[in-house]
Structure 1
């Protein structure tokens, strides 16, 4: 048997097809190979549907094809019974002789899925292309290992490093703004502060893309945002953190009382982790972004840099971390940094 990167890379590639749909489950891709050819593949479409391994296995009707085959999967096969049966049991039933696993599942204690496969005589190779398999599930791993959501900071700035104060003036171009809506569809929630709401009156939805709207998270210490603003339209789930007691009930709006002190981020993240929210995009404003940066509580930042020069304005946040991606989007430059 020869292990080939191309098969795991294909599993990784198809796993990302589920981005934005599988929550709370991870992204998983599976490829079944025999004699150097892919005989089946599958990925997890969304929560409640078949897992990647089951999709790939169940496409094969001739059980003799599993003889001398190799199953590549990006994440350790599941052992628990939930909305779908355990994938480990299906692999054992089909007598697949070799399983190549990209990374262990932090949700499965002590690698019992891997141990069970080995107990039934299946050859298991672990942590194959581990870093690549892990990065596609950065939200899932962060949530279970750090007990908080994966945090993405996002903003746009001028070429000379300023953020706009004029709400009628866009910094980024239309293509960048559409990309932001795509990003929103991929994450569980989106967070902004009170000033940004009052200045922009944003909807924080994905009207320029398709998929699921994120949960809106608003910081409003004194509850000073008027009721006629878009965040109170009742069209998507919204959480408002405040120091006020609120007895009033509004459609799809949840008011959470916290202390607006130096522990505010810890309080917010603790609550969101209890709600099983695995990811957040923080879109501003500057004070809110800076609070995450100064506390070193973030995982990734995405910055759009326009070719426009402002000469003055509000200084954009500064993060001195490594650039993991830089690309042009028409006249904008997108820079992504990792903590």
Structure 2
């Protein structure tokens, strides 16, 4: 299973399809073939592995897969059916497919008389697939909320200036995170105040190969001369402040991960509505004071209402720190 997970890591890091790995074993436990999913429209991991065998070569083999074989028709056929037709003798997988339409593969396999073992290295695989699993189960993109602040929690000086609180290493790390998400989301207030490009760029200012889809939340239109209108992925203007509706629409557009760089209003609204899965905070060793807090009102009126997080990593970036935290339940509602 660990080797299947290694194979899965070769698949695309972004997009609507899970990165899955599969290893086919004979009765002696020897690897006969292996495969992984390369992206939308390509063979799934199980089919990719079986395609490397001669006709009838999969009969009686054990398929070890990181994710429960799918049970639906999409751009490709159901893997459960493909395994049955190939005569696979046994299936072992790590985590269930939470998809309303794609799940149920294990029941289909068992109904066909194929033994199925589940839960092998489930925690390890689920952690690696965490973004995709949360998106699939909640039917909305996985949301990473980012902000940069001083030690005293300020995101800007009293006059609104904020460039730059953090150093170059932290800012480059932000660009890498942008490239690692399907979409980047801000409010119209941020667009009007900062005129950002929201592109993912390298050390030399060059555009990185993977760019996030820019999404602007709010009812006001983006100015016609805004730099954001030159973004290589185009621009999504939501025309609404309803963040649940926005995320639902993005999910329908095959967006599975969203990087939020909006101001305190958007950030606070996401938190209040339990729509944040990861918090990425860049903390600079500086003090600013004043009213410009990184977060707006969270609806916490008493200390018993504070929102507890679990810190998963602290990474030094020059003089700054990148703190990654998540909701203690591991997912949002």
TM class by shorter-chain length? 0.7 to 0.9
Per the alignment, residue 271 of structure 2 pairs with 293
Q: Give the equivalent residue in structure 1 for 2:315.
A: 327
Report how many aligned residue pairs link the two structures: 309
| Structure 1 counterpart of 2:8, from 15, 18, 31 | 15
Q: Label 1:111 to 1:226 Cα distance change in 2 as closer, same or farther (>3 A).
A: closer
How far off its partner does 1:303 sit? Answer: 1.2
Partner SS state of residue 261, structure 2: strand
Distance in 2 separating the partners of 1:147 and 1:112: 17
Q: Which runs of 5+ in 2 are unaligned?
A: 299-306, 328-333
CA contact (8 A) 1:20 1:211 kept: no
Give the equivalent residue in structure 2 for 1:103: 95
**Structure 2: distance between partners of 1:182 and 1:74:** 27
- The answer to whether the 8 A contact 1:191-1:283 is kept is yes
Distance (whole Å) between structure 2 residues aligned to residue 273 and residue 38 of structure 1:
37
TM-score by length of 2: 0.80
Could you say which residue in structure 2 is the equivalent of 1:181? 175
Structure 1's 173 and 62: CA in aligned 2 closer, same or farther, altered over 3 A? farther
Alignment of 1:1-80 (within 5 A): 8-21=1-14, 23-34=15-26, 35-61=28-54, 66=58, 69-80=61-72
Q: Which residue of 2 aligns with 1:312?
A: 289
User: Which residue does the alignment assign to 1:245?
Assistant: none
Q: CA deviation at 1:48?
A: 1.0
Inter-CA distance 321–101: structure 2 relative to 1 (3 Å threshold): same
Conservation of the 8 A alpha-carbon contact between 2:146 and 2:279: yes
The equivalent position to 1:88 in structure 2, one of 58, 74, 80, is 80
The SS at the match of 1:164 is coil
Residue 108 of structure 1 and its aligned partner are, at CA, apart by 5.5
8 Å contact from structure 1 (residues 27, 136) kept in 2: no
Match of 1:248 in 2: none
What are the equivalent positions in structure 2 for 1:136-285 lying under 5 Å apart? 136-165=128-157, 169-208=163-202, 210-223=208-221, 225-233=222-230, 235-241=232-238, 256=239, 258=240, 260=241, 264-285=242-263
Partner secondary structure for residue 122 of structure 1: coil
SS of 2:63's equivalent?
A: strand
Per mean C-alpha deviation after superposition, the further-off stretch among 308-317 and 281-290 is 308-317
Question: Structure 1 regions of 5+ residues with no counterpart?
Answer: 1-7, 242-255
Q: Tell me which of 95, 120, 123 is aligned to 2:112.
A: 120
